[in-house]
Structure 1
Amino acid sequence: MSPRILIVGGSIGGLFAAVLLHRAGFDVTVTERSVHGLEGRGAGLVAQREVFAILREVGFEHLARIGVVAHERIYLDREGAVIHSQHTPQTQLSWDVLFRSFRALLPDERYLIGRQAVEISQNDAGVHVRYADGGEERADLLIGADGIGSAVRVAVSGAHSQPDYVGYATWRGLVPEETVPPTAAGQLFERFAFFELPGSHILGYLVTGPDGSTAVGRRRYNWVWYRRYTRAELDDVLTDVDGVRRPFSLAPGRVRSDVAATMRADAGRLLPPSFAAAVAAEPRPFVHAIFDYAPARMVAGRIALMGDAAFVARPHTAMGVAKAAGDAFALRDALVGTPDLDAALSTYEAAREPVDRAIVVYGQRLGQSLG
């Protein structure tokens, strides 16, 4: 009889694993803590080899052509002059389209929202998950795909298995293209744009609209501003509109107005005019602190970690989705390759641990000038 597999975390990594395992004939269910689902939360992503491979696997190769092309890279000085350019065309795929497409491959009864896992344990009868709503689930195998703040990670690596803050955060905006002033749009659109200053840099590029549209006038401008913060400064930045200090990030609409106003004022003072205008055009900026994490192990008994629940790499690598896809493939292949769950999980860990650890190290190297 096929083992009952439960995946905690229904973002793109959990979906990758669920779809591959479901298609392979496994009894798999995803539980996701979000009440409203995850659509509309993504922007653009750089498709690495593993992403193309998983698109081919499920017959979605056409999705690799749904994106916005940046025709060149430009580097600006403080006054806004282009000081260097490179002809390096690159397509940003739509996270939202990718999410919706994979979600559609999983039956509704196998993707349950509003289920926040709060306690995980295991014994001879299997793995047990208790949810915030009081419900419980039992599985033969539990896959933790619940991201940087993983509840499942505690069951594998202990209560102190928390990512390490690296000294900086990213401010982000997703601005409808028509709200970016024409002068700024003329310089920034259809390009990857960069500006660097000591201990900080900003980059930006066009991405699809929230519905995946690539039509001119329906896209969004995505900017990402890396900034250093001491731990005390970060405590203030991550204290939300309700006065609660959040551990990792604040979503759009959760940043206090005084913190957002300070960030915009700094943008006007420090950034080239086009970037400052793009920042000012975002009424609801959001912020993510940057962390590193590399676990001693990815598996404990019948519990396995994947994606950011396992290894947390800095976003400079642009490999977060690729890493999740690689983990999903390795899990599927190991479970298909042997009926013995313990042997399969050992095979999975041996295949992915060195790869994922190398990605974390690569991100640390790329972020040396910021941390």
Structure 2
Amino acid sequence: MKPLDIAIVGGSLGGLFVAILLRQDGHRVRVFERSTHGLEGRGAGLVAQADVFAMLRAIGGEAAAEVGVVAQERIFFDRSGAIAHRQATPQMQMSWDNLFRVVRGGLGDDAYLQGRTVTNAATRADAAVLTFDDGSTEAADIIIGADGIGSIVRRAVVGGAAANLYAGYVAWRGLVPENTLPAEAAILLDRFAFYIAPQSHALGYSVTGPYGEMARGERRYNWVWYRRVAGDALPGLLTDRSGHTHPFSLAPGQTPDAVAAQLRSDAAALLPPAFAAAVAAEPHPFVQAIFDYEAPRMATGRLALLGDAAFVARPHTAMGVAKAAADAMALRDALRGGSVDAALNGYERARMAEGAAIVAYGRRLGAELG
């Protein structure tokens, strides 16, 4: 296939993966990212699946796989805080921030355009067009929507079937510098810890510091607390301290003080002491509502979807980055032969069943919560 002009909406890992692969194949790529401040600091640790390692080999980023923290075992608390069960299953949590820096470094600034908010995507017979919030437009041979759960490109691909389905619960999160954890939480370090109760799951693990620090005392502790929240209460929970309601999550610093205080009080009453101490140590807890989504198709005309723009799987699967990597490699392979139409149709056939299977797996894992 002759070199194409390809526009990618969304500059997180999925958008970067596909941009680097397609540039390697000689295509002209431009990534449009709405954030003006960059995406570093938004991730903690991730369990790298085989597709992530394959992607890193393909883009020359293997060194990123060496930066992380190993959880030496899995422990399961009872309500009192005693360890009810343990498994000797060492597992490395790769640094998301370091991975992002490595991958971002593989794409030049000329192809990564920040502060560009897309408001619409459209396809014609021989091209596709993006519209931005300032009224400007950009045309390309292909537009790839790697713009996540709130994808604009998704609406253009699937029409009225673009809405995410709320799963009935949220994930409260904290990312605490290890040297600020109280003594009661010391048992959590270097382990993958769990507490499972009716309609409530808590888990946590050690991750690197913000710049890949792996030494004790320089790392961070990542905790997650899944809790049921009724659908009609969700807008209130996702209203930030300035009164603005967000569709999917609140970032660190956006949670109202009274809500954060209630979370800490609930943790003291409901969680084992170590987890309650970790929750109390986070000054700015943040929250993510859990959704499912399965696209009825991944391509139409000159538009294609990738990663969470196509399939939103619950975080229990730990497969979000791997899914995006596999999509990116499949799309690259499809574009190596035939017409654009044939390539995008082939990409859709290659990835639809896998995306649906991952979403179904997430539903099974979260069944007790939702």
TM range (shorter): over 0.9
d(CA) in 2 for partners of 1:234 and 1:339? 46
Partner of 1:144: 145
Classify the secondary structure of the residue corresponding to 1:254. Answer: coil
d(CA) in 2 for partners of 1:212 and 1:24? 31
d(CA) in 2 for partners of 1:95 and 1:133? 32
Amino acid at match of 1:356: G
Offset at 1:216?
1.3
Partner of 1:43: 44
Deviations 1:26-67 (A, max 9, x none): 111100000111111111000001001111112222322210
**Mapped contact 2:72–2:190 kept (Cα < 8 A):** yes
d(CA) in 2 for partners of 1:57 and 1:125? 30
Q: Which 4+ residue blocks in structure 1 deviate beyond 6 angstroms?
A: none
Partner of 1:220: 220
Amino acid at match of 1:52: F
Bigger mean CA deviation after superposition, 232-241 or 350-359: 232-241
d(CA) in 2 for partners of 1:102 and 1:159? 34
Partner of 1:354: 353
Q: How does 1:140-219 map to 2 (within 5 A)?
A: 140-185=141-186, 187-219=187-219
d(CA) in 1 for partners of 2:228 and 2:184? 29
Partner of 1:257: 257
Partner of 1:332: 332
Classify the secondary structure of the residue corresponding to 1:92. Answer: strand
Partner of 2:276: 276
Change (3 A) 1:339 1:28: farther
Partner of 2:27: 26
Offset at 1:159?
4.1
Partner of 1:286: 286
Classify the secondary structure of the residue corresponding to 2:294. Answer: coil
d(CA) in 1 for partners of 2:277 and 2:232? 28
Change (3 A) 1:144 1:35: same
d(CA) in 2 for partners of 1:254 and 1:133? 26
d(CA) in 2 for partners of 1:251 and 1:103? 22
Classify the secondary structure of the residue corresponding to 2:39. Answer: coil
Offset at 1:233?
2.1
Partner of 2:88: 87
d(CA) in 2 for partners of 1:215 and 1:32? 33
Classify the secondary structure of the residue corresponding to 2:55. Answer: helix
Partner of 2:235: 235
Amino acid at match of 1:32: E
In the superposition, the TM-score normalised over structure 1's length comes to 0.98
Structure 1, unmatched stretches of 5+, are none
Amino acid at match of 2:69: V
Classify the secondary structure of the residue corresponding to 2:311. Answer: coil
Deviations 1:268-309 (A, max 9, x none): 100011100000000011100000000110111110001000
Amino acid at match of 2:106: L
Partner of 1:302: 302
Deviations 1:57-99 (A, max 9, x none): 1222232221000000000011110010000000000111111
Offset at 1:121?
1.4
Amino acid at match of 1:156: V
Classify the secondary structure of the residue corresponding to 1:78. Answer: coil
Classify the secondary structure of the residue corresponding to 1:158. Answer: helix
Deviations 1:177-196 (A, max 9, x none): 011002311x1001000001
d(CA) in 2 for partners of 1:174 and 1:38? 16
Amino acid at match of 1:4: D
Percent pairwise identity: 60
Partner of 1:266: 266
**Mapped contact 2:161–2:296 kept (Cα < 8 A):** no
Deviations 1:302-323 (A, max 9, x none): 1000100000000110000000
Bigger mean CA deviation after superposition, 60-69 or 217-226: 60-69
d(CA) in 2 for partners of 1:124 and 1:192? 51
d(CA) in 2 for partners of 1:184 and 1:311? 36
Structure 2, unmatched stretches of 5+, are none
In the superposition, the TM-score normalised over structure 2's length comes to 0.98
Bigger mean CA deviation after superposition, 246-255 or 121-130: 121-130
Partner of 1:13: 14
Amino acid at match of 1:237: L
Classify the secondary structure of the residue corresponding to 2:335. Answer: helix
Amino acid at match of 2:104: R
Partner of 2:72: 71
d(CA) in 2 for partners of 1:20 and 1:350? 20
